[in-house]
Structure 1
Amino acid sequence: MRHAPRRTSALLAVVSALVLLFMTACTSGSSTQSGAAPTEEKLAPATTSPSVTTNVAMEPAAGSTDVNPVTPVTLTAQDGILSDVVMTNEGGEPVQGTLSPDLLSWTSAEPLGYAKTYNVTANTTSIEGVVKPFESQIQTLNPTNLVSVSTVPSKSGQTFGVGMPLIVKFDEPISDKAKAEQFMTVTTNNGTTGAWYWFSDKEAHWRPKDYYQPGTQVTLDVKIFGQDLGGGLYGQEDRQVSFTIGDSMVSEVSDIDKQLRVYQNGTLIKTFPASLGMDKYPSQSGIHVVQEKYEMKIMDSSTWGLPTDAPDGYYLEVPWATRISMSGEFVHAAPWSVADQGIRNTSHGCVGISMENGQWFYENATYGDIVVIKDTKAQLKATDGWGDWNVPWDEWQAGGKK
């Protein structure tokens, strides 16, 4: 025959006795047999006495300093039950917590702050009905340096194309990238395989092995608050962003036939004659990703080193401009080159199409859509905007600049 541990049995006895005590006290006003004293006169009243010890164990230990703010604070009654537990910060604001159903323990239910002092008070009641107060104080750690993060996408609830990258940017360099990745989690509703790749000490991108499947739901959790990311650098706050992948929209254009073909969920839906970059300013072959859209965009050649008053310089308003790289490539309406589209290249690297076709592309393109340029003399770099898909998967899995 197995016996319950002595502490468990004792605690059950305490709780049972106290419940009986309180129930009996609540019925003291009911009728009794003739000659019997009222029930409440038979009970020892609850008292507060320093001569009776009711132990409370606290974790982290009472008086601790350098407490991690994400570590839960727990109180456990070692003799009796808990009541009136209050934990407050320096401003007197309460910290939320939960008392266990058996009244034997209390646990904080929210993160604390860095470099803060917290006061904890509680009462414990022994089986003899003796109430004893408990008081303590703890201090949380004070990091020497904090790091914050921003993400792309930056807000939840949006819908993106099948090539949308996930980007985490830190405002301080990360020395232990493997450790940081432990707190950067990507989950999907269909088990999409992906990996992190570091473009610098401050910027990491996550992408799948292949384009997302339409309908994929993606959530990024960056849970760095309270975490040492290496060298005493602690996360300032957590970030979370969720989004959905919409229809697959993949466009392809070859410098051979100069036709921009748009495929929706694998089906060809549009073909547009196009003019690409001329020989001096070739469009870049590679996998581009839609990342900005403008109904009207001022394009200024001086922003990439060509003076506007040079023979090939320009400063003009361009309608229906959809950015596909950060080096200045757009798919845009180019009414001035309609006669050349599908025949010869006249641009400085952009994919020019007619006004009508440019408007259609602008209105139907989504951030994260794919545009593939082929058969030109230049190659898109992975570091050019969202050029993630130009890194081979085996190389991507190696993690980049670790």
Structure 2
Amino acid sequence: MAKNKYLFPLIIMAALFFLIGFMTTMNNSMIDFLKEAFGLDNRPNGQILKQLPNTFFFGAYALSVPVGLMIHRIGYKNGVTTGVGLLALGIVLCIPLVALGYIPFLFGVAVFAIGIVFLQVAANPYVNALGPAKTAASRLTLTNFLNSVATVIAPMFVSMLIISDGADASEMAPTQVQEPFMIIGGIAVVIFVVMFFLKLPQIKGDEHDDAEVPKEYKSSAFKYTHVWLGSLAIFFYMGIEIGIPSFFADYTKQLGLDFSSAQRTDMLKYYWGGLMVGRLLGIFILQKYTARQILTLCSVGGIVLVASSFAVGSSNAPLAMWLLLGTGLAHSIMWPTIYNLALEDLGPHAGVASGVISSAVIGAAILTPMMGAIQALTGSVVFAISCLFVYYLYLVFFATKGSKIR
């Protein structure tokens, strides 16, 4: 009965994860296009400026804690509806704002990013609660698989519908985003209307079918060390996941590979495709191995792939490129394993803790411009990407030591 009871809400959450993945990756995939369309290379600090789509988008996650507290009061269903509404509003605002300039357009991005924060904070603990605790990581991986399907589609959407109309940098205009954004905005408005009238069950953070013995919990989510260490893990993970596609175009240029802007963006589908395949496999892998084991293996795998890409770069540029794109497979199950470990055994504090953890997604807003500054200072994108080694090593620490409940 429990499975039937939770099936439809899980389908709805999976659809929202698709939407989250599409908008997140589309924003990141437009970095190279926006750089060319707004002529950022000709401006002072252009390497930092071109990373601002990450800053405006992921910076919204700084609101995750108050959003988590709000959702604790208004409920998951209202939180999700609010998120879809803000997402639709932000996309619609981007249509006129892009004609006003780079920064005005990014303010529109910030509005739909706040909607994504509502969805992210509400959806993860909701999925966590839709069934037995022992299969929570597997459910999160399933929904993240659909998220990954969207991340594969988004770069193709950008390369075909936004960039292709002006494949030559001199012909690119910022207003090329308007018609595609009209399509996405229309879809978002329809989803908002559906969500407004849809009835979803109210789920509490401590609701589990297999909870037979009442447990005692600390007075606040803020008193659990693994929540804070897990938040830092998400912070560094975002530098990893977003860092690769954000610097991929410059890395291929440094390798001497002659790609157009559309081709560089389209190639990212292989990176996001690796995440998609890995998350599909993760549904079954996480049934046999612990989240700690998988997170450790994936982090070490990422280190090996990036180091190997650097090692062969000077002698075999195509192989170096594919090794870097291959990190998508290593990154695939990191998010659900970190999230599951950070939310472990929190009961009624899961909603607030989700806000704390989700606020760490701001890592992509902070770390990518920092990496851009390193690139500008050193003149080499390799030095910027090398920051990932520090991020990976922290994830190894969290998996082996930091995630243990105190």
Length-normalised TM-score, structure 1: 0.19
Q: Which has the higher strand share?
A: 1
Give the structure with the higher percent helix: 2
Higher relative contact order, chain-length normalized (CA < 8 Å, sep 6+): 2
| Higher gyration radius (CA) | 1
